[in-house]
Chains A and B, each alone.
Chain A
Amino acid sequence: MSRSGVGVSDDALEAFNDLKLGKKYKYIIYKISDDKTKIIVDKTSTDPSYDKFLEELPENDCKYAVYDFEYELGQGEGKRNKIVFFQWSPDTASIRSKMVYASSKDALRRALNGVSSDIQGTDFSEVAYDSVLEKVSRGAGSH
């Protein structure tokens, strides 16, 4: 496994624990710092709208994101929450940025425990609510 040598900042892990245990955030967006040494928190939000989250994903740049995905099971079985990890690498981003984000993903992903699904998005149809819902509700222990 090739590694880029990019590390994870403590803030990034703290934010994740706040989301997972404290339910303080709905989603966290991560980015690689400008000097390409650390993965840092770009933004946190409590906005429950999934559309709002999609608007935060830039059209020409890569990001990582963790989203606390909530969905109905139907037939009165109630709601479930799943933590979903996104690797956002749009087709239109620069090749250099796509490479750095791909090779640094593992560093962040392995540091986060309790993520149920991984979504790799290269265009907006792959991160649309329906696509994510399908993937999340298909996974083990989803209901």
Chain B
Amino acid sequence: MSLEKTATIAANPSTTRGLSVHLSYDPRTNRIAYASGKSIFLRSVDDPSKCAQYTRHKAATTVATFSPSGYYVASGDESGIVRVWDCASDDLILKGEYPILSGRINAIAWDADSKRIIAVGDGKERYGHCFTYDSGNTVGEISGHTSQVNAVAIRPCRPYRAATVSDDAGLVFYQGPPFKFAQSVRGKHTNFVRDVKFSPSGGHVVSVGADRSIVLYEGKTGQFERQISNAHDGGIFAVDWCDEKSFVTCSADSTVRLWSVDSPKKPEKTWKMGSKTTANQLLGVVRTKDYVIALNLSGDLYYFDDSSESAVKTVFAHQKSITALSVLADRVFTGSYDGRILAWDSQGKQGKLVQGDDAHTNLVVGICPVAKDRLVSAAWDDTVASIDASALHVSRLASLEEQPIQIAASEGFFAVITESKVAVHSSDGKIACELKLAFTPSAVAISKSYVVVSDSATFKSHVYDKNLKPASGKDLKPMRGKPSFAKISPDENFLAVGDSNGKIFCYNLSSGELVTSRWAFHTSRITSISWNEDNDHVIASSLDTNLIVYSVSKPVRNVKAMNTHKEGVSGVEWIGPNRAVSVGADACLKFWDVVFK
């Protein structure tokens, strides 16, 4: 048997309100680099389903920048560490790890030789540092700011210059290398300055800020050239040059504007988002070969080009850890920590947003199919919603009195467990029957004729019939730890229950006897179990980041995939007899081919 990864669907960039996001572009491979969660993603612009994931940061990542040569990426994190690694090979080998600051790294810039790096951010004793990429030797110092530095740029041709901008409303110009303070420009911006960039031939520098103005400087001397006030109706977050004479800016007013250096009175072009909402504040922009790509607060990437005023393409994905997974026919549905639900085709090429006025606002506990074209989901906003799989629309189905712990569904009805009870609902949301429990449940499973509820204190699973009457003669042996997930096989012969220590017990559901306790290879909480349609193989996911395929007929054989999702796998499902999909805390989807022997 073997378990092979066939595809990874990347998470979208992490965003924080009021903080700009620096996206980096490599024209050689036509990829963008960005930070998300604790990972860095390198993602193809033309085919966003292709990506490379770098997972070696220990803290939440903040920024990633390609070297001009395209061979290396420098990435920074919240703890002030910069890692330089090889992005040309698939192994993503580390070149060097440098502790630069005591706080967040906000931006990183490379010089044109791909030899020197300036990393800036928030620290206690300094706000930035210049060093060589391979040995970390100091090649200058960043000084002259009194508050955290938001962005840095290095002139892409000789003589090298550098510019940094900061929350203190000033821009500092450096000469070098080694980079040394040359002059500071103050009094032009009146609020936080968010981004700075040199033009491709080094003729100009542009800075943008929260005061809605754009300031242009001469590239070699740093002399002030001109200012565009009120360039947007909201604070400006990012800027990128298209060519030597024009650049694009993005702003909290949900627009991207193209400006010309020669006629800066008004924008050459304005691209608009659908609506001007907080979620649509644009925090990052990057110019690629064919498109201008902008990032909004909810983490979606919008592609703009000359043909249209609105986005020609939108890339949706999760930003926060994925907590729920379901497969319906050949489609995959995922729900995340922030309440967002997405629908994917089974190849995972494209994610579509499931929308509606009653969309979840908090952690999605579970998504389960109840009919051929409909799913139900429960979330920590204490509601159960119905998802129309073809229209991709959510509507409220039921409100719960307590926070849901788990939801499970079978054809036409579903069960929800809360702190004190278990309730079976029909597919229209009405409660068919409910049972007050004497214990706190920790897992629920449902099939055509059974409902199984696990006790979090005695570790025992109780079997009920569909009307929640205890089924006779089914006294299941208690687990060794708190049951965390339960699943009944499609033919109702077996019940697999996983516990918080990583052990899985497989019971015979008709006799109530233990079939095997040999499925003990996970080392942490079981988060999900899925039965193959052959009623023999199960695939299980766990917090220990591993996926394991077990078999009922050959309980001593198993096949593992280690380190699949950083920070734990949260769900796994079969998509067909030989394919599976998994989701995890890194907000990624991964597809697997399973070969049985």
Chain A residues proximal to chain B, CB less than 8 Å: 51, 54-55, 59, 90-92, 123-125, 128
Contacts and interface: CB of A to CB of B under 8 A. Distances in A.
9 contacts: A54-B518, A91-B480, A123-B503, A123-B517, A123-B520, A124-B517, A124-B518, A124-B556, A125-B523
Given A91-B480, A123-B503, A55 B517 contact: no
Contacts, number: 28
Contacts of B516: 59
B54 interface: no
Contacts of B523: 125
A26 to B, nearest CB: 16
A51 B556 contact: yes
Contacts of A128: 521
A38 to B, nearest CB: 29
Contact of A54 (B477, B514, B517, B556): B556
Interface hub of A90, A123, A128 (most chain B Cβ within 10 A): A123
B517 A59 contact: yes
* Interface of chain B, main secondary structure: loop
B303 to A, nearest CB: 46
B158 interface: no
B557 interface: yes
A62 to B, nearest CB: 14
Nearest to B478: A92
Interface hub of A90, A91, A125 (most chain B Cβ within 10 A): A125
Nearest to B560: A130
Given A54-B518, A125-B523, 17 more contacts: A51-B554, A51-B557, A54-B556, A59-B514, A59-B517, A59-B518, A90-B517, A92-B477, A92-B480, A123-B503, A124-B517, A124-B518, A124-B519, A124-B521, A124-B556, A125-B521, A128-B521
Contact of B520 (A51, A55, A124): A124
B559 to A, nearest CB: 12
A124 B503 CA distance: 10
A54 B516 CA distance: 13
B556 A125 contact: no
A92 B516 CA distance: 11
Interface in B507-548: 514, 516-521, 523
B520 A92 contact: no
A44 to B, nearest CB: 20
Interface hub of B516, B520, B554 (most chain A Cβ within 10 A): B520
Contacts of B520: 123-125
Interface string B557-580: 100000000000000000000000
The 3 nearest A-B residue pairs measured at CB: A123-B520, A125-B521, A54-B556
A128 B521 CA distance: 9
A129 to B, nearest CB: 9
Contacts of B503: 123
B129 to A, nearest CB: 42
A122 B519 CA distance: 13
Nearest to A55: B556
Nearest to A128: B521
A92 B517 contact: yes
A51 B514 CA distance: 20
A27 to B, nearest CB: 14
Nearest to B481: A91
A51 B520 CA distance: 15
Contacts of A55: 556
A83 to B, nearest CB: 21
Contacts of B519: 124
A91 B519 CA distance: 13
Contacts of B480: 91-92
Nearest to B548: A125
A125 B519 CA distance: 8
A121 to B, nearest CB: 10
Interface hub of A51, A90, A124 (most chain B Cβ within 10 A): A124
Nearest to A51: B556
Contacts of B518: 54, 59, 124
A55 B551 CA distance: 14
Contacts of B554: 51
A91 B514 CA distance: 14
B518 to A, nearest CB: 4
